[in-house]
């Protein structure tokens, strides 16, 4: 299912206004076709974690493939006026946009890859105007889905092989938040969703029970269970906490026994409130004693990775987890904080002019160059990631420098196996990437996590994975920072 199939409308105006004003300025200044390089990356792992799961690339590909300014888009732009009530954009510029076709080259980290701060998830190379225009949509697509996929991976790690269902549609941030969140949650490790439209669009298994209102709609709890069991004789999960949880469990058992001669099987009971450890233990005891040892115990009620871990440590007898609000809203971090920065411009003589954005905060200073990420590994897993400039030769001896603490360095032994993470997606506007299906992306996440040491995957105070700049790139960046600060500039060309 492609992005345009979901929305059925042009998305060329899905951008910040300043992207269009800058595009107009580049066109006016004769810079629209100047070759540029931008990188999309984030500065900190979300949730105070040790890793991040890249997601959203398929949406980004769909957007870029269909990047066209339709007549209704141009008509809207033609109506925009400046402070003197004159048209903001001249007709010749709108004609330029009408004929615009995406011709950039894009390299990206495949969805489901484990990534770390400051590593480019996407690299865009091509005409400056085009590369600038796509900043906002790329960020809104990749920031959100990466955030939710990471949250889902953490929760999936916490359930330790139990079934995990996403129940968050009603608490999601609107329709798009619900659909994109479900897709990303499935990538991160969720096995099914309550979101029916997402199930249809993305071929994700759908699951559900019933609400308290079902029980309230009948004269008694027993009648409600019986009616539901008769309706779904092989797929009934009874919500037992409408009135008294353990009495509800007993009534569920009685109903199951009553309907057994008709071929009924009680698939599960759901606990949605109260002391989930105690109630699940007591429910398990009642079910086992009644001969329903294969009946699942489903738990919901504002769960997250920390609560699930605690419940498991306390001995809760839950084996199916329904996680909603805290997953689809990526609680307690509302945004990834990804950024998109210019890193190089091609001079008229063909040489690259490297660009850097300075800041009083070191973490917010960008890295110049045509960046690639090289991941070193051995038979035991991932060893380190090195960000390097593809346009410059690498030294024989490789050293990785932490970009936020230059005293932290990792030496890479000669002939250490490696993989470069950014792969070709578009080459001069032509799609080259063979998109995997969602199940393959989900499997990739699990394989990636197996290559990380468990200390990096823990929730509290995770170990820091070695990821940083190749030493000569670090030194070039440092020299450039010192030079520009001495000159009093904030953004400047070099190289």
Q: CB-based contacts of 459: which residues, under 8 Å, 6+ apart? A: 47, 49, 154, 158, 305, 306, 309
Q: Is residue 352 in some structural domain? A: no
Tokens for 109?
């980290």
Q: Is residue 309 in some structural domain? A: no
End-to-end Cα, the chain, rounded Å: 44
Q: Is 397 exposed, middle or buried (0-12, 13-18, 19+ CB in 10 A)?
A: exposed
Q: Is residue 482 in some structural domain? A: no
pLDDT of residue 440: 98
Measured distance CA(157)–CA(232) in Å, rounded: 31
Q: Is residue 248 in some structural domain? A: yes
CATH number of the domain enclosing 226? 3.20.20.70
pLDDT of residue 4: 67
The closest alpha carbon to 5, from 63, 64, 72, 71, belongs to 63
Q: Is 280 exposed, middle or buried (0-12, 13-18, 19+ CB in 10 A)?
A: buried
Residue position matching structure tokens 């007993």: 250
pLDDT of residue 489: 64
Backbone angles phi, psi at 431, to 5 degrees: -65, 130
Q: CB-based contacts of 95: which residues, under 8 Å, 6+ apart? A: none
Q: Is 377 exposed, middle or buried (0-12, 13-18, 19+ CB in 10 A)?
A: middle
Tokens for 61?
């590909």
Do residues 384 and 467 make contact, with C-beta atoms less than 8 angstroms apart? Answer: yes
Burial 202-221 (b: 16+ CB within 10 A, else e): bebeebbbbeeebbeeeeeb
CA torsion, points 292, 296, 302, 306, in degrees to nearest 10? 110
Q: Is residue 24 in some structural domain? A: no
Measured distance CA(469)–CA(388) in Å, rounded: 6
Q: Is residue 383 in some structural domain? A: no
Measured distance CA(8)–CA(5) in Å, rounded: 5
pLDDT of residue 436: 97
pTM of structure: 0.95
Tokens for 188?
């991160």
Q: Is residue 253 in some structural domain? A: yes
Backbone angles phi, psi at 285, to 5 degrees: -65, -45
Domains contained in the chain, number: 1
**pLDDT digit of tens for each residue in the chain (495 aa)?**
677 677 778 899 999 999 999 999 999 999 999 999 999 999 999 999 999 999 999 999 999 999 999 999 999 999 999 999 999 999 999 999 999 999 999 999 999 999 999 999 999 999 999 999 999 999 999 999 999 999 999 999 999 999 999 999 999 999 999 999 999 999 999 999 999 999 999 999 999 999 999 999 999 999 999 999 999 999 999 999 999 999 999 999 999 999 999 999 999 999 999 999 999 999 999 999 999 999 999 999 999 999 999 999 999 999 999 999 999 999 999 999 999 999 999 999 999 999 999 887 878 899 999 999 999 999 999 999 999 999 999 999 999 999 888 899 999 999 999 999 999 999 999 999 999 999 999 999 999 999 999 999 999 999 999 999 999 999 999 999 998 888 876 555 444
The range of the structural domain enclosing residue 290 comes to 209-299
Q: Is residue 132 in some structural domain? A: no
Instruction: Name the DSSP letter for residue 161.
Output: T
Do residues 103 and 130 make contact, with C-beta atoms less than 8 angstroms apart? Answer: yes
Q: What secondary structure, in 3-state letters, does 284-298 show? A: HHHHHHCCCCCCEEE
């Amino acid at each position: 299912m492609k992005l345009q199939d979901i929305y059925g409308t042009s998305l060329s105006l899905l951008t910040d206004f300043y992207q269009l004003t800058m595009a107009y300025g580049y066109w006016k200044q004769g810079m629209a076709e100047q070759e540029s390089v931008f990188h999309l990356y984030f500065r900190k792992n979300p949730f105070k974690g040790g890793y991040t799961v890249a997601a959203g690339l398929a949406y980004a590909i769909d957007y870029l493939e269909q990047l066209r300014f339709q007549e209704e888009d141009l008509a809207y732009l033609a109506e925009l006026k400046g402070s003197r009530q004159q048209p903001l954009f001249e007709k010749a510029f709108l004609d330029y946009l009408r004929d615009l076709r995406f011709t950039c080259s894009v390299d990206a980290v495949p969805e489901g890859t484990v990534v770390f701060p400051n590593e480019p998830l996407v690299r865009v190379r091509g005409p400056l105007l085009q590369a600038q225009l796509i900043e906002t949509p790329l960020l809104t697509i990749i920031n959100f889905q990466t955030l939710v996929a990471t949250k889902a991976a953490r929760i999936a790690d916490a359930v330790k092989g139990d079934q995990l269902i996403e129940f968050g549609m009603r608490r999601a941030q609107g329709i798009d938040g619900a659909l994109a969140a479900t897709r990303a949650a499935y990538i991160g490790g969720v096995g099914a969703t309550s979101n029916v439209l997402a199930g249809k669009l993305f071929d994700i298994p759908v699951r559900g029970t019933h609400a308290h209102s079902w029980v309230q709609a009948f004269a008694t709890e027993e009648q409600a269970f019986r009616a539901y069991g008769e309706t779904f004789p092989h797929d009934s999960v009874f919500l037992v906490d409408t009135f008294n949880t353990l009495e509800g469990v007993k009534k569920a058992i009685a109903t199951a026994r009553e309907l057994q001669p008709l071929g009924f099987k009680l698939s599960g009971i759901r606990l949605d409130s109260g002391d989930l450890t105690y109630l699940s233990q007591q429910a398990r005891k009642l079910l086992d004693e009644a001969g329903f040892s294969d009946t699942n115990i489903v738990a919901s009620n504002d769960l997250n990775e920390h609560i699930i871990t605690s419940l498991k440590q306390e001995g809760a007898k839950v084996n199916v987890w329904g996680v909603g609000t805290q997953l689809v809203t990526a609680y307690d971090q509302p945004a990834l904080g990804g950024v998109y920065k210019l890193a190089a411009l091609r001079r008229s003589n063909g040489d690259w002019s490297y660009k850097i954005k300075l800041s009083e905060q070191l973490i917010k200073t960008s890295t110049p160059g045509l960046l690639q990420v090289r991941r070193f590994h051995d038979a035991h897993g991932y060893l380190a990631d090195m960000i390097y400039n593809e346009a410059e030769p690498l030294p024989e001896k490789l050293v990785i420098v932490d970009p936020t603490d230059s005293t932290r360095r990792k030496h890479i032994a000669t002939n250490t196996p490696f993989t470069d993470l950014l792969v070709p997606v578009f080459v001069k506007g032509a799609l080259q990437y063979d998109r995997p299906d969602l199940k393959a992306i989900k499997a990739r996440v699990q394989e990636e996590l197996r290559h990380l040491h468990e200390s990096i995957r823990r929730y509290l105070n995770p170990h820091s994975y070695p990821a940083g700049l190749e030493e000569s790139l670090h030194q070039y960046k440092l020299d450039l920072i010192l030079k520009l600060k001495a000159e009093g500039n904030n953004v400047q060309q070099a190289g």
